[in-house]
Structure 1
Amino acid sequence: MKSFFQLTVQYGGRTAFAAAMAGVFSLMPAVAQAQIAAELPGPRDEQLIEKPNESVLMKESNLIQEVLEPELIFRVEPTRSKILKTKLPMTRVAITSPDIVEINEFSTTEVEVIGLKAGETTMTIWFAAPDGTSTVLRYLVKVAANTEEQRRAEIEYGKLEARLNELFPNSIVQLIPVADKLIVRGQARDAQEAAQIIAVLGGQSIDQAGNLTMGANLGSAAVLPGAEDLRTTSIIDLLQVPGEQQVMLKVRIAELQRTAARNLGFDFSVSGDNYDVAHIIGAGAGNLTAILDGGDVELFLQATSSNGMAKILAEPTLVTISGKSANFIAGGEFAVPTAVGVGGIGAVSTTFRGFGTQLAFTPTVLDKDKIRLQVAPSFSSINSSNTVDGIPGLDIRGVTTTVDLREGQWLAVAGLIQDEQAGSRVRLPGIGDIPLIGAAFGRQTTTREETELVVLVSPELVHPMEVEQLPLFLPGTDVTDPTNKEFFWHQQIEGRPGYDYRSTVWPAMRHQIHHENHEILKAQRHARKASRHYHECEDYYISGPQGFSH
């Protein structure tokens, strides 16, 4: 690579450029260096290029007439164009980098040069002379923004920045134009004010309540006269909102159901040798028809009273970042077959329907402790009484709403008090209407169902816990397997907390523990025996006090 930079210096005479390129090359990865080194001429090839032999020079003189370099500089601004009119007709126009400059030929003497983006390229034009010869003119095209326009844009953006800081005194806004983009930096008071700042720059309007509406009533042009001339096509939002931006939502769904049912009635059971007629009363038919021939007639009295109670309490908790949606579901799914037909042929597809506790919400931090919640909690359970073709129904309790709350506040977003009563009576006409006696010829039923439901929500700003804040006990960590004595003798299904009994490996573990305990006891007996012999030896051979010094 050293020879390559020497070659650059000899041909170009730019030692500073060579040194800079050497520094850049040294920072490249090894794979890139190897690839460049393979493509560049080595020391031997460089000597051949610098000192070509006579045959090479003769070949060049026979084949190459002239090497044309750019002769003039042509300047154009990005997204602007210039019309080039020639005195002689043009036969051909070529551009080295079409992504920098675009050429539109209107005629043989008129061409438009359009600047696409900042950069440099070459433009070559061939002219046809009257004598039939061809003339070539080469330009070095430089596409760069006008310094005057850049200076004016900076002034306009500076004024717009000052006006924004006046309109939003609780925020700090900094505008940085880069090419056709506008970078918005700083710190907004809250998320709502940050959205308003971006809306003003984007040309949206804001009503008195602070809500955003589409339109050009209050945009950058309205904030500052002349700002509509600023060439900004996209806005990059880098505004920051101080404070915690993680929101934890607590939801409580509490439901209590009470039911009561009472039945009173008589049933007949009539049976013969070859027939059986049962439950005549209550069959819905107004007539009684029976042939009693050598059969039995039985009378049943039915008088029942039943009460029921059901309690549902669900408390899902979910955490997400301000402005982002989060979903939580705890439950299950059951299959629902669906009949479909393709080409006149019937088929059955299966879809799954979920049930359980579901929670979906989107929080937006409006102030330091004010949070806007779009929340949709729901709770569903299987109702076997609504089964159709083997597919059970669902009892669903849910709500979808948007509320504003302070951190830690609770709000009942939904509530329900429902009281249902129903009654029915079936009897034989005439005799069934006689007091007291009519009860033996009919059946009557009454039911009542009471339901109370409330849905509470509470937001809280949270941050991740440190290691020392992690709770030591999690749900289920203190639940252990009962020992054989606890299970068979005491009839317990949970063991003592803190005593890890494993019924899967206990037979092998018991043998191992017994063996280890036996070895420990054996070692302890050996140690006591050795210690006793040691003290006996001391007492026999040493006169006076003996032992370790203190």
Structure 2
Amino acid sequence: MRKRHWTGARPDGFGLALVFLILLQMPLSVPAAGQKMLRMFIGDMQVLQPGPVRRVAVGIDKVISTSILENGQLLVLAEGKGETVLRLWLKDGGERSYKVVVGERDLGRASSEARAMLRNLPGVTLRRVGGNLIVEGEVDEEGKALIKQIGAVYKLVDLTTIRSNALVADLLKPYSDVTVRTVGKYAVIEGHVSKEQTAIIEKVKKAFPNVLDLTQQKRLDSKKMVYMKVQMTEFNRSRLRELGIAWDSSIVGPKGVFERNFVTERGLSVSPNIQGVASAGYFGIATEIASKINLAVSNGDAILLASPTLSARSGGKAEFLSGGEVPVPVPGPNLTTTIEFKKFGIILKVAPEADERGNVLAKVETEVSTIDQSVSVENTPGFRTRRASTEVSLHSGQTLVISGLVNRELARDMSGLPWLHSLPVLGPLFRSTKFRDARSDLVIFITPIIQDPDQPLNREGVARADALRKEFLDRLDLAPDILD
């Protein structure tokens, strides 16, 4: 049998502190068999968790007082100096017995003893503030565990931080928008960060497991969002005037520019022969016509062909295509041929820009293109295209009206292009007898609506998010072990 021999090596300071701590926790008076020892100072409180408590008995009520909590745990208050016995009867039928020793706190002695036990922790200080002993400084995980044990005996107020938390703060110090604070044993990182800073924080989290990342991505340039409600309709031409839009009867061909009376709100008229206007449609602005459009649809005076909603950031672009793409062979170098796809149908492009007063300056491009078999070359079809481009200024909620884009001659000559019937928007329009007889027209309504962070709905959402985040941080401050 091999015997172990003491090598004679002296224990280090950390080991001596643990031995001294164990000796201090040994009771001066030995409890009876089956009893547990409970040492307290006057004014202390302690929660016992033996299980749901049914009944309590105290030997000397001047030494301690008790209270059963709602969760079945027992709160013990040290009232006066002395010894007593605490006996518990549990709801499950079990029993517990404690010998309770309550003494007067000698802060001077406690301070000296605690300071002696903490002397091997560099950078840690102990000071008295009123009737409390406060420990401050930076320690590692091992030192934090020792302070927790010593604090349980001497009732220390632990304000130390884990040294790695300080390192985390130093690493992130160059970033002014980032803050690091200690909650329990965690280094909580907060602030608004960029993508590059997020990558750095991810590396810090891998190096320091006690890091809690609560940062948020920096908001990009928060330009306003413009939502454009588009309604493509086949409208009875006689009903267009009831919308407050007067198309000038002397116009020949799709050429015109809008004029609007901002005083009388009497709609607008379209004037002919304006120089510099794209020759592919009529443009006009109207207000509060949504209900009139809905009424016309319900009465059969209009047919809603499509109603997409486009969205773009102020200064951006949005595009809508109702049609398809046709493969077109294109000669390439070295006698090669590549295939390109040509779009056809109705193409709508809008580039809005919103100001602080709710105005929208929009560049609108419209195009209607169809395949023209009469001009095909080597089985490659030609295209009939009508396009318009204009810039308009509207207020959020006003409606831009576009008409005159579709050539009726094409609708009358559909026998050679039967597949046009299946096209969205154009198919139902070309099948319409009213359209072929010039009694209806394709009318496009575009209504821009500005959305920005200052609108009530967005502010309410941000406020709810901030409240939830604050509630989480408050709970973290009250119970830092919640993440353990």
- TM > 0.5: no
TM-score, L = length of structure 2: 0.27
Q: Which is higher, the Rg of structure 1 or of structure 2?
A: 1
* Higher RCO (CA < 8 A, seq sep 6+): 2
TM-score, L = length of structure 1: 0.25
